[in-house]
Structure 1
């Protein structure tokens, strides 16, 4: 052999090896939900706190909410409700979050045919309380999840946080094909209430409920007809195709927590104009999401929008040209549970699955909105 000779393999290439291998795609393998406390009608909540102001009662009774799960403070000797200090609210948040969170995770794993040792990554989302160590560490200890499990906590992002976290969890699943990632959204909204006679708190207190929702994600090949590795065939498991976000910087203070010196606790604020602000920006973020995937709004068969409130849902529906049937699960969750903050869209997703109407090839849009003010979206395909 002389210097400069190039050695080549004259054997014919294997066509199977020559094919371009498709990157893994995250798929939703299972979903589970849980609630805590008692299910109250709006009138029962008003009566529990002896609220007689006709303006406040009107806000509650015209909210399109029939029932919510709440853990109200204990009764005092006179039949009223005791005032809870901030420390007591934080303790309530921890207790309810651990209870609801554990039940939602177990239900999610059961739905996917998985067990606790299968979890490789746990992401916990909440806005209704602050814990150190975070909820993920406490759940790993309490539930007996493997201590080698990777984890992250998303705290304080509000109602849009579920999709923010889903983006990160899907990325972890893609980076770790075949391993199970679990996203848990748990909101103990009963632990974030201020009870007074102002219209500011009336709007908040009329809206939110306690609930938790979890989904398990596993990445597989987009060419696979059998879903994530190790799981049984399940054409009902949608793959996550894309995300798109939009921060409305002019409305950064429209949804926020403030410290109330007179109450000695945090108080949540919702700007009355937020439904119209969100509605006005819904088209651009949804169209950007869809155009990046070569889709149009008319191609979307399933819409799962955050149950933010009657006015928010109506504003989004009108601006996107959706029908009331398109948002039936969104309005159904609002009616039966109220606004469940970060986990609301997963309650709607579970209702869609139970309908058994999603077919192979269908596209769906997940949409949440919250503090920032932010609109988050995701495109999925069955």
Structure 2
């Protein structure tokens, strides 16, 4: 049942983001919002995801894990339900904030929970969790335009995602044990923030997720500007997300054979580099191929960096804390990129500059990843080294 819980939670963490991206044009027209305003639907929840990661240890001192997880799912469900009734852009952005609050705590707790519940299969279950994250994004991108067409309402289509969240909530009620607040609590995290390696992980995680944030926000709009329908552009985002899901599971599974994950990280980053350059210069030549390539890069990097963070400590508590900090600092960095991309679009009359920026970020992360040498993890986290 724990594996079912991991899968269901993962599937429900991304549809609220990808669903609004595929209907960006309809939402903008219905609520009289600019594209810059729509960027807040991604920017704000991803900022909150970072705050949630930092707040998780403090919450665990006063609330049991069961209460944190169930409350988080309730917030996510509430945010989706409220989208049925939004009268203006500000209220829609408020629902994104509520969803982001729910996702932030769930996302911060899952890596440590995986290491605790599956100590002998960390790489595989991390891959499953990451794959379901991306798979949920694919479902959000593919199904939401269909629901919108079927019901003739983008509001109903956005609210639809409260249904699968309700199922995850029921599973959480059944599976997560009752325990005292603070049980199995990880140590205080402030000491890890003094380690340069923690900040290296934060920057890498933020930059690679910035590419994901920009794509789920603007890829559908990019191709709708080129004459595609909402359904067709949603299918493209779904293909990208499916490729992410396959890579998120497959690359950590392959990387489990040895402790040095760098070769696989570089492979994933190379896919990102090629994909973003293709979107920038030859977007119409083979858009589904470009989506698959870049999806492999994004999904592989996400799960591999989670795995690299967990590798730094042998015990679940400290490993989970480091992973939470990586997400806590990384998601606010990632949140900036949809806004940067749309500002570059307005300055240059296209998304090409934004795609090129993300290609450059892939190169930067590849350089930083050179320092992820397993033999030096203990030294890096002891504070005796600088990177």
TM-score (norm 2): 0.33
More RCO (CA 8 Å, sep 6+): 2
More helix by share: 2
TM-score, reference length from structure 1: 0.34
